[in-house]
Structure 1
Amino acid sequence: MGQTFCCVQVEQSTVAIKEWFGKYNEALDPGCHCLPWIFGQKIAGRLSLRVQQLDVRCETKTKDNVFVNVVASVQYHVLAGRAADAFYRLSNPSKQIQSYVFDVIRASVPKLNIDDVFEQKNDIAKAVEDELEKAMSAYGYKIVQTLIVDIEPDEHVKRAMNEINAAARLRLAAKEKAEAEKILQIKRAEGEAESKYLAGLGIARQRQAIVDGLRNSVLAFSENVPGTSAKDVMDMVLVTQYFDTMKEIGAASKATSVFIPHGPGAVRDVAAQIRDGLLQANNTIN
């Protein structure tokens, strides 16, 4: 109907390519335009000025011989002032962009190991964008941005990489566990040493108290009973304690059999042994 009344409508964000008897005349902006077709004017085609996106999947090999699929996302649009170049100079802009992406990725990725590809994907995207910008600007296209959106190694390689990572983490966990056990053993040994030290200190104090008590008993007995020597009093006290001990052993409900030499001579020997032990302990404390 528009062609019948020699009027055409160009939508927003679109340019129309006007030809006059088959020759390019001008690019029509959005709005209503009069094209008297009887004078050889017509619309040869339309171009969208909106930003378009092209996803390109490229298979290549890394420096360490790992095959990967690299997915690049290219965002581009037609320059309004160069719509004629975009319309007439390229028959298939998508294929052209795809060819440049293949060329740059297959030149960049084989220089890197698989781990470096993941780390330097932004550098790869920048290289693709720079190359596309130089190439496509001559055809009236503006490259807005290029992104490396995915890097897919072979499934076996991904499984191996995951196993390497898991093994490294297990090794780190084992190391931390061993360090924790080492700390526990050290603390346990320090606790046992402190416990034994305190137990020994308690025994030493107990023996000191026994010695002090015996000394006080000897002095008190010597003062109250004239003519007795300290040795006599000490022998009597030790013999008394010896019999008290025998009594306690016999009276205990869970007492086991204890064989001790018993007799007048044995009592004297026991007294001598007790005396020597207490004196030795006293010397050790001092």
Structure 2
Amino acid sequence: MTSKGFFCFACIGQATVGVVEQWGRFQRIAGPGFHFLNPFAGECLAGVLSTRVFSLEVRIETKTKDNVFVQLLCSIQYRVIKESADDAFYELQNPQEQIRAYVFDVVRAHVPRMTLDDLFEQKGEVAKAVLDELEKVMGAYGYNIEQILMVDIIPDSFVRKAMNEINAAQRLQLASIYKGEAEKTLLVKKAEAEAEAKYLGGVGIAKQRQAITEGLRANILNISNSVSGTSAKEVMDLIMVTQYFDTIKELGNSSKNTTVFLPHGPAM
């Protein structure tokens, strides 16, 4: 504030408001810009307040319903209400300590009714409860609570280690289940494939034997019709001898056979 002649003037910066008093009593709020003050009328600039958004971090240690000690890190964003700047200037000497005290009170009233898992899932509910309480209380002092963020929840180190081990065990168990299901599926598919292969092999053998039987039957009928006086048994004996010699021939033509020949003859 600068004086010149019988008047004084004050320049209020952007994003700030000035509190003007007259004879020690609040008179008005001065917005950003250039203002004339009359000291002979008792006017003076008592002080200025910033209307920017301030951020206050509060760390609270408390206990959950399942007896786990945790630390909660809250970030409170607040600002002075321009229209109520006189309340903010005169009513509270240390607004940060006032906000901190209410945050402690609300958090320690809500968290002990929640388990640790519930706290992680419903941390937004805790932040909303703090916001509702602070808006109601700090509004009377000329402050507006813009936002409250529950930045972090930090359990005791032993609890964090136990939680990580539980999570790892659950994931290993789930992996084992998936692995077992995959192996089961492979075994089932393999068994189905083997059964199908055996079925098809059996069908092939049956058809092969049927073809051999049909061929033998046709040969017997042809020989019986071509050579008069031959019986079916004689024809079968002839076919057996022929197949016997064909088998001996095949064994003799292969160089990799390890067959041991014993005295034998075709079964008649």
**TM surpasses 0.5:** yes
Equivalent position of 2:16 in the other structure: 14
How far apart in 2 are the matches of 1:28 and 1:88?
A: 15
- What is the CA-CA distance between 1:13 and the residue it aligns to? 2.1
Give the 3-state SS of the residue equivalent to 1:254 in structure 2.
Answer: coil
Q: 2:147 aligns with which of 145, 148, 154?
A: 145
After superposition, where does 1:160-175 map in structure 2 within 5 Å?
160-175=162-177
Deviations 1:6-36 (A, max 9, x none): 1111112211111223222222122211223
Q: Normalising to structure 1: TM-score of the pair?
A: 0.88
1:102 matches 2:104: yes
Amino acid in the other structure paired with 2:221: L
Matches within 5 A, 1:53-64: 53-64=55-66
Q: Which moved more, 1:165-174 or 1:13-22?
A: 13-22
Structure 1 residue 117 corresponds to structure 2 residue 147: no
The TM-score, its normalising length taken from structure 2, stands at 0.93
Rounded to whole Å, the distance in 2 between the matches of 1:231 and 1:152 is 98
The amino acid of 1:191's aligned partner reads: A
Q: What is the deviation of 1:233?
A: 0.7
Alignment match, 1:185: 187
In the TM superposition, what is the alpha-carbon distance from 1:121 to its structure 2 partner?
0.8
Range moving further from structure 2, 80-89 or 127-136: 80-89
CA distance in 2, matches of 1:94, 1:3: 34
- Output the amino acid matched with 1:90: L
Residue 47 of structure 1 corresponds to 49
1:249 pairs with 2:251: yes
Q: Partners in 1 of 2:250 and 2:25 — Cα distance?
A: 131
CA distance in 2, matches of 1:257, 1:22: 128
Shift of 1:49: 1.6
Give the superposition deviation at 1:38. 4.4
Q: Once the 2 structures are TM-superposed, how far is the Cα of residue 119 of structure 1 from its aligned partner? A: 0.6
Corresponding residue of 1:232: 234
Query: SS of the residue aligned with 1:239?
Result: helix
**Partners in 2 of 1:237 and 1:69 — Cα distance?**
98
Match of 2:88 in 1: 86
SS in 1 for 2:104: helix
Could you tell me how far 1:40 is from its partner in structure 2?
3.2
Cα distance between partner residues in 2 of 1:77 and 1:7: 27
Separation in 1, partners of 2:92, 2:118:
36
Spell out the pairing of 1:128-143 with structure 2 (5 A cutoff): 128-143=130-145
For 1:127, the equivalent position in structure 2 comes to 129
Letter in 2 for 1:3: S
Corresponding position: 1:3 with 2:3: yes
Q: Which amino acid aligns with 2:153?
A: I
Letter of the 2:231 partner, please give it.
Answer: S
Structure 1: gaps (5+ residues): 272-286
How much has 1:242 moved relative to structure 2? Answer: 1.3
- 1:76 is aligned to 2:64: no
1:220 equivalent in structure 2: 222
Change (3 A) 1:64 1:3: farther
The residue type equivalent to 1:111 in the other structure is R
Pairwise CA distance, 1:258:
3.8
Question: Which residue identity does 1:212 align to in structure 2?
Answer: E
Aligned amino acid, residue 141 of structure 1: Y
Root mean square deviation, CA, Å: 1.6
CA distance in structure 1 between the aligned counterparts of 2:62 and 2:3, rounded to whole angstroms: 51
Shift, 1:260, TM fit: 5.4
Q: Please name the residue that 1:284 is paired with.
A: none
How far is 1:221 from its partner?
0.8
Q: Determine the C-alpha separation between the residues in 1 that align with 2:49 and 2:60.
A: 28
| One-letter amino acid of the structure 1 residue matched with residue 185 of structure 2 | I
For residues 212-235 of structure 1, the C-alpha deviation after alignment (integer angstroms, 9 at most, x for no partner) is: 111111111111111111111111
Q: Which residue in 2 is equivalent to 1:276?
A: none
